[in-house]
Amino acid sequence: MSQTVLICDDAIFMRTMIGDILTQAGFQIVAEAETGVQAVEKYRQHKPDLVTMDIVMPDMGGIDAVREITKEDPSARILMCSAMGQQALVIEAIQAGAKDFVVKPFQPSRVLEAVQRVLG
């Protein structure tokens, strides 16, 4: 059975692109979230094998969502999706419990490498 993914990003564009990359690599997208609050809810609901998490989202940002999720499930495997110039935020996210990160603009190979590290 393919591994399941929850994609959290407020841009459909980004969700579609990440979704395409992961789907082609054999993952199954089980849910998407547009806000941090949704991310936490959907995580609870689906318990996915992998979460991709945008940092800047309305209604609870990605870092707080990571905190919430890892508080409930310390084994959660979360990959942060950040933009250039967000070092400090990525570090905060790692400290909060995220396992790895990728930086926009995404290269599929880098995304998949990071995913391997997160799941490995």
Partner 1 sequence: MELSQYAELFLSESREHVSAINHLLLTLESDPRSRDAVEGLFRAVHTIKGMSATMGYRAVADLAHEMEDLLDRVRLGRMTPDAELIDTLFAGCDALELSIETAVEEGDDDGASVAPVVARLRALAGTQAPSQSIEPVEAPSAVSAPAAPALPTLDVDADEDTAMRVRITVDPASPLPGVRAFMAVRAARGLGTVTSLEPSEAAMQEADFAGTVRFVLRSAVPVDEIEATLRAAGEIREVEIARGLMDAPVQTGDAAAAEPGAAAQAGAAGRARNIRVDLRRLDALVNGVGELVIVRDRMRRLAGAAEPELADSIDQAARLIGELQDEIMQARMAPVWQVFDRFPRLVRDAARSLGKRVDFVIEGKEIELDRSMLDEIGDPLVHLLRNSLDHGIESPAERRAAGKPETGTLRLSAARERSRIVIRVEDDGRGIQREKVLSKALANGLVTAEEARGMSDDDVARLITRPGFSTAETVTDVSGRGVGLDVVATRVRALGGMLEIASQPGHGTSMTLQLPQTLAIVRALLVRQSGETYALPLTHVGETVHLLPEEIGAVKGRPVAYLRDEVIPLHSLRTLLSSNGVRPEGKRAAVILEVGEQRVGLEVDALLGQQEIVVKAFDATADTLRLFSGATILSDGRPALILDAGSLLGAAATGV
What is the binding site for partner 1 (CB under 8 A)? Answer: 10-14, 16-17, 19-21, 23-25, 29, 56-58, 82-88, 90-91, 94, 100-101, 103-110, 112-114, 116-117, 120
Q: How far is the CB of 83 from partner 1 (least distance, A)?
A: 5
Strand partners, 8: 33, 53
Q: Closest CB to partner 1 among 71 and 117?
A: 117
Question: What is the phi/psi pair of residue 71, to 5°?
Answer: -65, -40
Q: Give me the phi and psi of 80, to 5 degrees please.
A: -80, 140
Output 1 or 88, the one with its CB closest to partner 1: 88
DSSP state of 78: E
